[in-house]
Amino acid sequence: MGLTIGVDIGGTKIAAGVVDEEGAILNTFTVPTPATAEAIVDAIASAVDGAREGHQIEAVGIGAAGYVDDKRATVLFAPNIDWRHEPLKDKVEQRVGLPVVVENDANAAAWGEYRFGAGKGHDDVICITLGTGLGGGIIIGNKLRRGRFGVAAEFGHIRVVPDGLLCGCGSQGCWEQYASGRALVRYARQRAAATPENAVLLLSLGDGTTEGIQGKHVSEAARQGDPVAVDSFRELARWAGAGLADLASLFDPSAFIVGGGVSDEGELVLDPIRKSFRRWLIGGAWRPHAQVLAAQLGGKAGLVGAADLARQG
Amino acid sequence: MGLTIGVDIGGTKIAAGVVDEEGAILNTFTVPTPATAEAIVDAIASAVDGAREGHQIEAVGIGAAGYVDDKRATVLFAPNIDWRHEPLKDKVEQRVGLPVVVENDANAAAWGEYRFGAGKGHDDVICITLGTGLGGGIIIGNKLRRGRFGVAAEFGHIRVVPDGLLCGCGSQGCWEQYASGRALVRYARQRAAATPENAVLLLSLGDGTTEGIQGKHVSEAARQGDPVAVDSFRELARWAGAGLADLASLFDPSAFIVGGGVSDEGELVLDPIRKSFRRWLIGGAWRPHAQVLAAQLGGKAGLVGAADLARQG
Amino acid sequence: MGLTIGVDIGGTKIAAGVVDEEGAILNTFTVPTPATAEAIVDAIASAVDGAREGHQIEAVGIGAAGYVDDKRATVLFAPNIDWRHEPLKDKVEQRVGLPVVVENDANAAAWGEYRFGAGKGHDDVICITLGTGLGGGIIIGNKLRRGRFGVAAEFGHIRVVPDGLLCGCGSQGCWEQYASGRALVRYARQRAAATPENAVLLLSLGDGTTEGIQGKHVSEAARQGDPVAVDSFRELARWAGAGLADLASLFDPSAFIVGGGVSDEGELVLDPIRKSFRRWLIGGAWRPHAQVLAAQLGGKAGLVGAADLARQG
Amino acid sequence: MGLTIGVDIGGTKIAAGVVDEEGAILNTFTVPTPATAEAIVDAIASAVDGAREGHQIEAVGIGAAGYVDDKRATVLFAPNIDWRHEPLKDKVEQRVGLPVVVENDANAAAWGEYRFGAGKGHDDVICITLGTGLGGGIIIGNKLRRGRFGVAAEFGHIRVVPDGLLCGCGSQGCWEQYASGRALVRYARQRAAATPENAVLLLSLGDGTTEGIQGKHVSEAARQGDPVAVDSFRELARWAGAGLADLASLFDPSAFIVGGGVSDEGELVLDPIRKSFRRWLIGGAWRPHAQVLAAQLGGKAGLVGAADLARQG
């Protein structure tokens, strides 16, 4: 099979990209994300049409946040779009006249990294995506494992603190409340409020208030050694690494791949995560250790992964 | 392939059983468990020899507690026997002259239930074994998933309480400290000590002291409505069900199978586990729910599963 | 000394009451609570003027939410009113021409109960107020203990869950997130969402949605045996009683008094709190146990207590 | 009143000291601690007799681990000696012919520091003793506050982690499991086991094994910058400071005094405790902060405090 299109549905824009068998993106086309569920279907079709011009396309893969069913056809529930049992595959197929595969966006990104990024050469890989929230994907035996009903790998919602922080999912203590971009900002704001004298640089990067601290400020300040920023990354890593240790007990992969915006900081975050992972890994003296690798495809992993999943059919 | 032998290494005895393709046990032979690592190899061989008499055996499967490597040949670490990188497959093959497969005992039990017990007809099953500790096994796509290095499915050691109870593994807050037979007894003793007037029946079943309370007393007292015993089962179920909800977020199986000694109590423990599972399941309104089933093979699951894994080669 | 006035600043109204030496309220006058900090001072003066008519008043005591300084003169910080280092005593004295004492409202309520309610006859009493949040007051050696700087007895903000729920105070895991009216409603909504079939009655009392569940519905449903409502009270009691056990380790009082709106339910909530307290009390077999008593003055405790504190000067 | 004797009952020896009104120790006499409860009474009398020679003594104060009743006469329960409702005051008075006051040892130490050590000049002081376990004492309004039944200030047993570590008291998650000398050693051993390459120095100070790590090794290694040792002190401080923040919410003292063997390390442990205290102090921007001071009397605080309490009668 030749070229396929991957679609990434973001909060502000929808990107469609033509992807070849090597994972290279040959062409992209982007449209703004509309406000209503129905208009998003139109926008997806527009993006696909814009991208496919001049290319022979064989299938389309769509990465969407939320629960996607076992047939990879229906979005059962989406957190940010009003999709409830939305037959997305059928609707888009009718518009674009091509076979469509729908996949959870974190699953698609995991597949992209496995096929063309940090996971190449591994058969058993667990990916986590530290973005605003925390998502992930499971590759076992060179296959994406979606669960019986399509909703596996919801790593962000395992409970790491009983009676812990409220989560948008309605539960409490979910991992993504402790290991994600949002958590990083919370750590920084709490620490800056308690000890502003240790956050002089961090506060100066924003508007001077604790509420004005954004993720980019924490990263920048941490690179420059701001104590509160460094400690915030360490706290994030404490939770991320402990969670990876749990996933090692469960899945025992040969590698973990850490992606998402937070991982863009590279070793600033990867190094403490590795240390925390080793700290909490059970039986570490008696077993081979999984590698903890930085993702390589950045924000394109989902698009490339979705395209490749469509190619596989 | 015809008949194989499964071996179950227990704390007090080693049982070998001849198992046919339907999972039926045709013959068993049992020897006491010796104290030293080396003598256990001899004992395994004796048990196999005792069981095989009069049967044409094609292979042997051994279920052993601990980490078994990816080749199913070497016990990397055993908790109760002094095995460290023990080449058990080679040693037993030399004694019995048959192909040998070594498997983690909880994995073997999971496979037994999947093939011949509560898991029949399911493709994706997660088994947990609530015994003294908590073990488990993963079946995805009709295959036992052992991880890249053979040590997957160590469910008992995911961290459910940060800074929680010390575990024999050296870590803290491991699930098996909260959901296991040992945890059940701890719950009962703590409650009986605090409010003995609510544990009159429970205390009367043992020697009258809180330290004298055993697991069988808790079960018996709970069946008769003793408040402390009932509450202890509820506490166990609270943790067991919450953990299953986490496993649902991760694996999304079609069924959970709950085995081990604690599950012998049937609905006394299964019913509250199901309730707790539903209480903590993420996104329960938008997804199909996995069933929570009682194991069917009891203490034979490991032997039967090991035999069947040996048959599969 | 004869009559004094107590003032209670509520979210919707400000009540002033003339109180005699026996704690009896002879006259009350109520005004709406204005929106601005400055207008509230005017409103307090109006309420005092309205109440004092025809009575010879010797002093005024004001109960205010927030931190009150060691001189009982300045509100350092108020959570719901924009008071920051507000010299409330001076301002009100200028308006009403009487000596004024300012006190934290939960301290005032504790004093009221100690003097005229459930605490009569005790020298060492700890009061907790389970209202929307959780407040309290400390009486040791027949004196209200306000701390060196006036801000003691902030029971609601001791940390009972590390990395727990966010609190309005900016911290996490504060006791009032787990034991308060707001917590009760959260417990009920979470449980009703997970298992609506166990909350049929509870849901029918509101608008049928989980978000529509209010505190009064939970109380009413619990009295009628609704499983989710009963379980929600039990969860509240689990946390309330465990916290009282901590306070017993710290203060070792002869009695705890439980007040606030939640305690209006009487034994429905007191009984499980007592059980939980006993469950968690350290060394219970070797020490006398504090009583856990229901408050007797209801919503008037703060007003009566403030008036009496003003009398004591 | 002139001279009194303070008695400190330790695990290996019993020390009696003649103390003057300024807290100076004029003479001491030490005997080994016998094994049986009854023999300890004899040993106390011997120590008192040995110390008093040549001095005019007016009273004796005894500091004892455990619950001491409200009359300061009876040891209700002792953790290390088989005393249950032991009338220690009467027994010792009969032997030595002097008035005797019995006090909890941590209370006595707190009083010593308040009167003659770090607490001089403060009216409201909370002392914590970080020894093998965690004890403490409460001074409010220049009086030692013992609670209604004598068993207040059991700081070590407030619950800081629900479902946390088992404690010798039978409960779980007690503060002393996280902030004490024993906790420090556990932190070091766990970290050294997980990442021995970061504990090279620490391991070299003992016998090379993680089990061989003792408290003195952790202190010595931390002073030299060993990463695991430094991190272990930081973890201890994390819990100690967070607990002090809770005590500030409850008691609002003007100073905390940190004593016990762990505090002998001075700023090595005090500095991170102060930082953690500030991190977790509620409303820190709106209230005066209590000082966190190092104890000054070292291991003599209990003896001196007990003597002074006897003087006060």
Chain-wide mean pLDDT for chain D?
96
The pairing of beta strand D134-140 with beta strand D125-130: antiparallel
Has residue B155 been placed in a domain? yes
Residues D146 and D97 placed together within one structural domain of the fold? no
Has residue C116 been placed in a domain? no
Out of C166, C170, C178, closest to residue A163 by CB = C178
Say if CB C6 and CB C16 are below 8 A apart: yes
Residues A289 and A173 placed together within one structural domain of the fold? yes
Q: Name the domain count of chain A.
A: 2
Q: What's the pLDDT score for residue C1? A: 55
The pairing of beta strand A291-294 with beta strand B25-32: unpaired
ipTM of the prediction? 0.96
Length, in residues, of chain A: 313
Q: What's the pLDDT score for residue D1? A: 55
- φ and ψ at residue A95, rounded to 5 degrees: -75, -40
Compute the CA torsion angle D213, D216, D218, D221 (nearest 10 deg).
Answer: -110
Cα separation, B299 vs B25, in Å, equals 13
Out of C194, C275, C284, closest to residue B284 by CB = C194
Has residue B116 been placed in a domain? no
* D159, D160, D161: best to mutate for the B interface, most B CBs within 10 A: D161
Say if CB B278 and CB B284 are below 8 A apart: yes
Q: What is the mean pLDDT of residues B249-269?
A: 94
D245-300 per-position pLDDT tens digit: 999 999 999 999 999 988 888 999 999 999 999 999 999 999 999 999 999 999 99
Question: Listing from the earlier edge strand, what are the strands of the sheet with C25-32?
Answer: C25-32, C13-19, C3-9, C57-64, C100-104
Cα separation, C140 vs A126, in Å, equals 58
Which residues from C are below 8 Å from A when comparing CB atoms?
A: 161-166, 170, 172, 178, 190, 193
Tokens 């006249």 locate to A97
The kind and range of the H/E element at A191 are helix A181-194
Residues B280 and B182 placed together within one structural domain of the fold? yes
Residues B174 and B304 placed together within one structural domain of the fold? no
Chain C residue with minimum CA distance to A167: C165
Q: What's the pLDDT score for residue A1? A: 55
Tokens 């068998």 locate to A21
D27-42 per-position pLDDT tens digit: 999 999 999 988 999 9
Residues A304 and A262 placed together within one structural domain of the fold? no
Q: What is the mean pLDDT of residues C149-170?
A: 97
Cβ separation D280–A163 shorter than 8 A: no
Q: b vs e for B170-199, b when ≥16 Cβ sit within 10 Å of the residue's Cβ?
A: bbbbbbbbbbbbbbbbbbbbbbbbbbeebb
Tokens 């059970």 locate to A282
Has residue A116 been placed in a domain? no
Compute the CA torsion angle D152, D153, D156, D160 (nearest 10 deg).
Answer: 90
| Cα first-last separation, chain B | 10
Question: Who contacts A267 (Cβ-Cβ below 8 Å, separation ≥6)?
Answer: none
Cβ separation B194–C162 shorter than 8 A: no
Residues D223 and D91 placed together within one structural domain of the fold? no
Q: What's the pLDDT score for residue C184? A: 97
Question: Angle at the Cα of B164 (from B161 to B169), degrees rounded to 5?
Answer: 100
Residues of C in contact with D290 (CB under 8 A): 148
Q: How far is CA D11 from CA A253, D8, D45, D64, D89, in A?
A: 50, 10, 17, 11, 20
Has residue B105 been placed in a domain? yes
Binned at pLDDT 50, 70 and 90, residue B1 comes out as low
Q: What's the pLDDT score for residue B262? A: 87
Tell me how close the Cα of A188 comes to any Cα of chain D, in angstroms.
Answer: 12
Least confident range of A196-210, B259-273, D63-77, D109-123: B259-273
| Angle (deg, nearest 10), helices C227-251 and C267-280 | 50
Say if CB C126 and CB C247 are below 8 A apart: yes
Write out the two tokens for C27: 């006259």
The kind and range of the H/E element at B49 are helix B37-52
* Other beta carbons less than 10 A from residue A170's beta carbon: 17
Chain A residue with minimum CA distance to D280: A194
Cα separation, D144 vs D123, in Å, equals 10
Cβ separation B166–D164 shorter than 8 A: no
Residues C44 and C128 placed together within one structural domain of the fold? no
C17-44 per-position pLDDT tens digit: 999 999 999 999 999 999 998 899 999 9
Cβ separation C283–D169 shorter than 8 A: yes
The pairing of beta strand A75-77 with beta strand C255-259: unpaired
Give the three-class secondary structure for A144. Answer: strand
Residues B102 and B131 placed together within one structural domain of the fold? no
Cα separation, B210 vs A21, in Å, equals 67
Cβ separation B161–D161 shorter than 8 A: yes
Question: Who contacts D204 (Cβ-Cβ below 8 Å, separation ≥6)?
Answer: none
Q: Is the C-alpha dihedral spanning A110, A116, A117, A119 positive or negative?
A: positive
Cα separation, D248 vs D255, in Å, equals 9
Cβ separation A161–C166 shorter than 8 A: no
- Counting as low any pLDDT under 70, the low residues of chain A are 1
Question: Angle at the Cα of D243 (from D242 to D248), degrees rounded to 5?
Answer: 95
Residues D156 and D171 placed together within one structural domain of the fold? yes
Say if CB B252 and CB A158 are below 8 A apart: no
Residue A261 or residue C164, greater confidence: C164
Find residue D139's DSSP bridge partners. D125, D144
**Does the structure show a pLDDT above 60 at C258?**
yes
Cα separation, A74 vs B190, in Å, equals 49
Question: Who contacts B312 (Cβ-Cβ below 8 Å, separation ≥6)?
Answer: none
- φ and ψ at residue A214, rounded to 5 degrees: -115, 165
User: Domain of C225: which CATH number?
Assistant: 3.30.420.40
**Does the structure show a pLDDT above 90 at B87?**
yes
Give start and end residues of each alpha helix (H) in B101-175.
105-116
Tell me how close the Cα of C167 comes to any Cα of chain A, in angstroms.
Answer: 10
Give the structural domain span for A226. Answer: 122-296
Binned at pLDDT 50, 70 and 90, residue C230 comes out as very high
C37-74 per-position pLDDT tens digit: 889 999 999 999 999 999 999 999 999 999 999 999 99
Cα separation, B193 vs D148, in Å, equals 24
Out of B165, B170, B190, closest to residue D193 by CB = B170
Residues of D in contact with B211 (CB under 8 A): none
Say if CB B20 and CB B58 are below 8 A apart: no
Q: b vs e for D146-157, b when ≥16 Cβ sit within 10 Å of the residue's Cβ?
A: bbbbbbbbbbbb
Cβ separation B145–A143 shorter than 8 A: no
Instruction: Give residue D107's region: left, alpha or beta (phi > 0; psi -120 to 50).
Output: alpha
Residues C88 and C126 placed together within one structural domain of the fold? no
Residues A83 and A227 placed together within one structural domain of the fold? no
Has residue D157 been placed in a domain? yes
Q: What's the pLDDT score for residue C264? A: 86
Cα separation, B189 vs B183, in Å, equals 10
Cα separation, B146 vs A251, in Å, equals 8
Question: Who contacts C77 (Cβ-Cβ below 8 Å, separation ≥6)?
Answer: C66, C67, C83, C84, D283, D286, D287
Q: Is the C-alpha dihedral spanning B248, B251, B254, B260 positive or negative?
A: negative
Distinct helix (H) and strand (E) counts, chain D: 9, 13
D166-175 per-position pLDDT tens digit: 999 999 999 9
Q: What is the mean pLDDT of residues C263-275?
A: 92
Has residue C270 been placed in a domain? yes
Chain B residue with minimum CA distance to C284: B194
Write out the two tokens for D120: 């001089």
Binned at pLDDT 50, 70 and 90, residue B225 comes out as very high
**Does the structure show a pLDDT above 70 at C284?**
yes
Cβ separation B279–C163 shorter than 8 A: no
Cα separation, B36 vs A124, in Å, equals 36
Cα separation, B51 vs A46, in Å, equals 69
Cβ separation D161–B165 shorter than 8 A: no
Q: What is the mean pLDDT of residues D299-308?
A: 97
Residues D165 and D266 placed together within one structural domain of the fold? yes
